[in-house]
Amino acid sequence: MMEDQSTKATAADGLDLDLDLEVSISDCSLIYPSSSSSSSFSSDSTFFLNRIDGALSFITLRTLHFFLPPDHHHRHRHHPDAVSARLRTALQRLLDHPAYRFLSGRLTTDPLTDRLEIDCNGAGVGFVQASSRLPLRRVPDFVSPNPSFTQLVADPAEAFDDDPLLLIQVTSFSCGGFVMGLAWSHALFDGAGVKIFLDNLASQAFDDGRPIPRLPCNDRTLLNPRSPPQVPFPHPELKRITGEEDDLIHSVFNLRTDYINATLTLSSGDIELLREQARRSSRTGRVTRFNVVAALVWRCKALSRDQTGSSDRDRESMLLYSVDIRSRLTPPLPENYCGNAVVYAYAAATCRELEEGPLGRIVDRVYEGLERMTDEYARSFIDWTEKHCRQGYADGELMISSWWRLGLEKVDYPWGRPSYSGPFVGGGVDVVLPTPEVDGGGGVNLCISATPKEMDKFRSLFRRHLI
């Protein structure tokens, strides 16, 4: 198993990730709600955003959905030009539905409350059609951070003057395969919300008049703070900006120019091996697949940092990880809530504890952070963001935001499911986005960023657990 893992772990090494995909854009346009629904837009029509939505509005998320060439029996249905036409129609249908009219709006600020909101002005969503002279097989790796992938999903702010909140790009390749790139303001959706959107988009790309299968719940007031805000818990996972120059030095979102990237893969068998190791020492018994992968990555990341002496072994390391609170609130949010319902849990330990403690005890720390995320704690987190709106950030050594179980690769389009779907990973930050294996084998891909020296140590620690 160690030999197989070593091969997977270094799969991206030596690949030409700077390959020019030779993408040329043939059309860059906006799709508007139809004239029959234009009367629903007026200058005073706005879409409410809560503080969590607003705090994430500076982030543009991107996903890439790879569709391999069709077989000769279905080539007419899968031609990228036909796909583009179907997607345009599907977008039009969604924009005409009351549940999705906010997508064609633009971010603005309420002058009275200083709260971000969406002006539902019907200004449109972006659509880009492009092509590459290369076959899709020339793309060396769908998963690893790849600068050339910027050609597969345009930046909305660069493609259009008024920065649409949503953009779709279809890039056809010479072999008949294509890539659908999606870019959206984080204010619109979290990962679960975009899965709902894609299910609905795919449904409207069919010609059989089927209804929208998962109408989104758009009531963002469900995550409003209490009045007055109450913060009964300490929140070490959050830090308030004080104006000091080094305020953001520990932010996991800081881009590090001295980092390199590597994509490591744990097969389903590897994960079961790790779970068996952890069960021997876990006191909680909650050795889930996510918990054990998060524990391993945390340990390797913390211990791979340059350490100069015993004082560094006593340094506290904090892991942050995103938790979907839809089912954790009382009462729970609707399953179809499409806004941002993700907050940060945390686990903390000294480097000495991470180095000397068994894997099961580190897994327990991760589980304890999840257990901490009750309705009361989540509401306290929300109220903290209200009290310090636009003056706080996530403070930790590493953040894990899992895309592993979202199921983006299971969306049923008229042209079939994608061969791979996942976030566009830029790398260079202390954020790990676990994604499913390309072949659907039940494993997980982990994009790691670190300095070259730290990366060597990370790899060594990572592999040691798989022997």
Tell whether 178 and 246 lie within a shared domain: no
Alpha helices in 166-254 (DSSP H): 191-204
* Interval 55-97: pLDDT, tens: 888 889 999 999 998 775 455 557 889 999 999 999 999 999 9
Look at residue 2 and tell me if it is in a domain. no
Look at residue 5 and tell me if it is in a domain. no
Give strand pairing partners of 465.
Answer: none
Q: Tell me the two tokens of residue 103.
A: 């997508």
In 3D space, the residue among 370, 442, 366 whose CA is nearest the CA of residue 405 turns out to be 442
- Whether pLDDT at 12 is above 50: no
Domain range for 437 is: 238-464
* Interval 200-234: pLDDT, tens: 999 999 999 999 999 999 999 999 999 999 999 99
Report the CATH number at residue 307.
3.30.559.10
Look at residue 10 and tell me if it is in a domain. no
102 C-beta neighbours (distance < 10 Å), count: 23
Tell whether 197 and 254 lie within a shared domain: no
* Interval 141-163: pLDDT, tens: 898 888 899 999 999 999 999 99
Tell whether 184 and 284 lie within a shared domain: no
| pTM to 2 decimal places | 0.91
| Phi/psi-derived region of residue 289, left when phi > 0, alpha when psi is between -120 and 50, beta in every other case | alpha
Tell whether 210 and 262 lie within a shared domain: no
Q: In total, how many domains does the chain have?
A: 2
Decide: 167 and 183 in contact? Cβ < 8 Å: yes
* Interval 265-289: pLDDT, tens: 999 999 999 999 999 999 999 999 9
How far from the centroid of its chain's Cα atoms is residue 96's Cα?
27
Tell whether 74 and 185 lie within a shared domain: yes
129 C-beta neighbours (distance < 10 Å), count: 21
Tell whether 106 and 177 lie within a shared domain: yes
Tell whether 209 and 337 lie within a shared domain: no
Mean pLDDT, rounded, for 352-367: 96
Q: Quick one: pLDDT at residue 289?
A: 96
Tell whether 430 and 342 lie within a shared domain: yes
Rounded CA-CA distance 220/121 in Å is 19
